[in-house]
Amino acid sequence: MKNLKLLLLFLPAVVLTSCGNDDYSEAYVDTEAKVNLVATLEAGRTMAVAGTYIDYTVTMPQSFAVEATVTVRATSVDGSKYTLSKVVVPAGSTTLSGMVKMPALNGNPGRYEGTSNAATMEVDGVALSSGDDPYVMTSNKISLGLLDGNGAYDFAYPVDYDGDGVLEPWLSISLDWEGPYSDNDLDMYVIGDDGLMYENSESGSRFEGDFFNGNWFDDQLYYVIIDIWDGNPPMAVRFTATDHHSVTTLIESSFTDTMIIATIDKTGGASNDITYVVEAY
């Protein structure tokens, strides 16, 4: 009888444990009806080096009563690699801005034009901060082109140059041009409004690049000048400037002779709170 009582006490424990395991392994099924919202996606640029950031703006068809998070996805054309960007949208707002990283792709296109249709970007979803999640969100799909990389000059360069524990907010600048690269060779210079030269790049090979050391330089307007070393103009040229927040400005033009391709309006003095406004000339 004593053994029977122990057995009866043991059985409920077995049943409870078994139910717990079953509940844990049961897949969650969301049967809630979803409303499909279609947003409008705009990209700041549609060609980029793998690993660099592309800025975007999303306009939603409606606002929400609570804070929401919108996801934008950039995906390589074969679908094997993707990156995600999540931006929090305040309650009542219908627009948001963010940056998504160009997914890493195998190989380089090896030419100025790059590889078109290498990746796409689109709105991938929305999640409300509280309550139910009755919405899904999509958008138009934007095609992205892959460009050859110029090493560190394509990326943000906040560096602790003087070792004081503070990152100096410098600007990365890069120049590419149309080949054949065995013939065409351009150089790049940065001249201030004061007439002084502040940066120069004369590599003798494809690409020119430099770091604009902003907190060493006066607040003024600077001019990015392209000159020819050798080659046969006219040729297409592409200038990019990437600030310490990873925001890239891309400018394309045609080179026939010495020219100013862009201006850099630098403010912030010698501090680390610097702003660069880069515009086509």
Chunk the chain into consecutive blocks of 10 residues (it has 281) and report each block's average pLDDT, rounded to whole numbers.
Answer: 42 40 49 87 96 98 96 91 96 97 79 92 95 92 95 92 87 97 96 97 94 94 98 97 96 98 96 94 97
Structural domains in the chain (count): 2
Residues 212 and 106 in one domain: no
Q: Are residues 272 and 165 in the same domain?
A: yes
What is the structure's pLDDT at 106? 67
Are residue 198 and residue 137 in the same domain, yes or no? no
Residues in the chain: 281
Within-domain flag for 1:
no
C-alpha–C-alpha distance, residues 281 and 279, integer Å: 6
One domain for residues 134 and 75: yes
Are both 93 and 202 inside the same structural domain? no
148 CB neighbour count, 10 Å cutoff: 18
Residues 268 and 163 in one domain: yes
Name the residue type at position 281: Y
Query: Phi/psi at 103 (nearest 5 deg)?
Result: -65, 150
Indicate whether 24 belongs to any domain. no
Q: Say if 174 falls within a structural domain.
A: yes
Whether 20 is in a domain gets the answer no
Contact 40, 58 (CB under 8 A): yes
Domain end point (choices 115, 131, 147): 147
Q: Do residue 86 and residue 99 come from a single domain?
A: yes
The alpha carbons of the chain give a radius of gyration, in whole angstroms, of 27
Residue 21 inside a domain? The answer is: no
Supply the pLDDT for residue 271: 87
262, 165: one domain: yes
Domain boundary among 147, 166, 181: 147
> How far is residue 82's CA from residue 103's CA, in Å, rounded to a whole number?
5
Q: What is the pLDDT of residue 21?
A: 43
Question: DSSP letters along the chain, please?
Answer: -HHHHHHHHHHHHHHHHHHHHHHHHSPP------EEEEEEEEES-SEEETTSEEEEEEE-SS--SS-EEEEEEEEETTSS-EEEEEEEE-TT--EEEEEEEPPP-SS---STT-EEEEEEEEEEEEEESSS---EEEEE--EEEEEE---GGGGS-EEE-TTSSS--EEEEEEEEEE-S-TTT-EEEEEEEETTS-EEEEE--SSS-EEEEE-GGGS-SEEEEEEEEEEE--S-EEEEEEEE-TT--EEEEEEEESSSEEEEEEEEESTTSS--EEEEEE-
Query: Do 205 and 120 reside in the same domain of the chain?
Result: no
pLDDT of 159: 85
Looking up residue 260, the CATH number of its domain turns out to be 2.60.40
How much is the pLDDT for 161? 84
**pLDDT for residue 162:** 82
pLDDT score for 110 = 82
136 part of a folded domain:
yes
CATH of the domain at 68: 2.60.40.2550
Contacts of residue 28, Cβ cutoff 8 Å, sequence gap at least 6: none
- Residue with token string 């009866």: 8
Report yes or no on 173 lying in a domain.
Answer: yes
Q: Does residue 5 form part of some domain?
A: no
Cβ pair 203, 152 in contact under 8 A: no
Nearest to 223 by CA among 262, 270, 174, 168: 262
Angle 108-123-99 (CA atoms, 0-180°, nearest 5)?
A: 55
Do residues 137 and 157 both lie within one domain?
no
What pLDDT score was predicted for residue 164? Answer: 85
User: CA–CA distance from 203 to each of 7, 41, 206, 215, 232 (Å)?
Assistant: 85, 39, 8, 25, 18
pTM of the complete model: 0.84
Residue where a domain terminates, one of 112, 147, 182:
147
Residue 70 is part of which domain span?
35-147
Same domain, 183 and 136: no
| Same domain, residue pair 249 and 133 | no
d(CA 35, CA 128): 13
